[in-house]
Structure 1
Amino acid sequence: MIAPTIDLDALEAFEKLEPTAPAGKPMMVDTGLIHEDPEQPRKVFDDTKQRELCTSVAESGIRIPISVRPHPQLPGQYMLNFGARRHRAAVAVGLAHVPALIEDLLSDFDQVIENLHRAELSPMEMALFISGKQKGGMKPAEIARRLGLSRSAISKYFALVDAPSEIEATYASGRTTSPDTLYDLRQVLDRWPEKTRAWLASDVDVTRRSVEHLKRHLTEAEKDQMSGAAGRDKASHRTDHIRHPLLKVRIGERPGVLVLNRRSDLDNHVLVRWDDGGEVQPVEVQAIQVVALEDGRSGPAKPRGRRRELRR
């Protein structure tokens, strides 16, 4: 009978595995065995805040455990759920182990919610995450429900996706990073592009209040313009019914009235009766400046003389 053999290689690999911990209890995990999730919604890390965290970790270590899950492709290693900044700081200051909670596979929604509650996810990162979910076929209502946000909040993040260059420049420069303000600004830009660009080019603070003030100003100006146009339309409508048209003109500095019931004997000329003397003269058409079209009978009626029959 052949004695059974022992696979020492497997035993050695087993001894190298990290010890497990009771559910909900943190354990010390080798920092070299932890990998960041490539699908992590958070892409931007503030350099100043990261340096401050490194200083804190160097002095006091990691006090709040990070969250990891078994790596789907690397046995015995882990992938981050939460705590990328703390893990990076631990690696930067040379910590060999960090406290970690081994948790089940969490969704990318869980990662977004965690960063959102910690105020560590930028508006643009949130917008790109929401856009990616919608492109994947998920309805905005479902995205809002999963994130615990309102439908209107989701719509405001969408304003950052494929935004006009002016919105991107305003966000990138730090003039405002508020989704609410950027959403309102995009609405104004879409409606009054030229005037909004001129406003952004000035040295103005971009806040929700200033954007609202701009919108109110442009709306009132548009209403005034429409009222003026309506008034001109009414005036134009009235001119269609002028029974006795009187076309006032000016030639240089000399005012007169165009004679409408007679033609000039000269080509490209019209007859003008001068206001200063009543004389009628032919004037070249190109020299005439039209001043107004009035009703010749709209003024006070002029008294007419009576013909008296002379009696012998």
Structure 2
Amino acid sequence: MDKRSPTLDEVILEEAAGWLIRIEEAPETLTSAPFEHWLYADPRHVNAFTRMANEWGAAAALVVETPTQKPYVRSQSHAGGLRRWAGKLRAPWLAGGLGALAAAAVALVFLYVPMSAPAGEAILYTTDIGEISRFDLADGSSLVLDTNSSARVSLTRTGREVSLERGRVFVDVKPDADRPFSVGEGEVSFTALGTSYAVERESDNWRLEVYEGTVRLKSLRESGVYGAGTGASFKPAGLTSFDLPQTLEPGQPNWTSGRVVFDATMLADAVQAFESYSDKHVTLIGGDLQTYEVSGVFRLTDMEAFLQSVVILTGARLSETGDEVELEAE
């Protein structure tokens, strides 16, 4: 399965390239209804358009003024795809020159700063398996989606709602007392006025981690307020509160930077964490491997490096057939 980020999907990059060429040939295209419709049809279109322009050396004309962004994780194969597209399309673009596009730069900046859908409409944000992506919202907040996650964001004058359909999200909320910010789905919600927190959903099971400020949990059966450094696991069977462990970077979970910390973690549990970021399935053969404890900091999107470390540490034999991987104890 291709794990490249939807934000730079080759089909969307091709569409973005087409719009860039049309704007160069006819600058009025920049404010046309068809272009605006394409822009707002999918949040990935903005990313593809600006990134493609930057690859072609048009950054000076296309810079969009947004708050400072933290880096997000993307695969090496994805970066290679971008270079391939730039290589294919760079020549005709540069042959036409950047004059018309540069002249339209002011209009482009004003068009892109909102980065939002028409009022009342929700925008769907998704990530593929192995992808961790950051998205900036029109209200000044931002969210980071973990691997294989999906969330719909609705921003109105009275509130801001993130409907988490699956997976995990970390939100950095811009304070606005008149527009509460909540993450949840159905009867479950986690609401804050200005804070940073992560919410994970697996079917009817929810997990809250608060990294800054306070968050109010509310459902038909449970409610509570949680402060920075605390969290809660909410399941149909009940609610469990806990304290958060120290993270590699203050104020955010480790997975947002694509890393995981194991501290005497059983190998079976560690492997399960990596499988969430890969199409590969790992089978551990031998009881000693199942209970072997691993410690250290690893890159979540690099299962191969982790397995090679295990081989070195345990002397296990590694074999692979397609997406099936076996680790067998000596």
Query: Higher strand share goes to which structure?
Result: 2
Q: Normalising by structure 2, what TM-score?
A: 0.26
Larger-gyration structure (1/2): 1
Query: Higher helix share goes to which structure?
Result: 1
Q: Normalising by structure 1, what TM-score?
A: 0.27
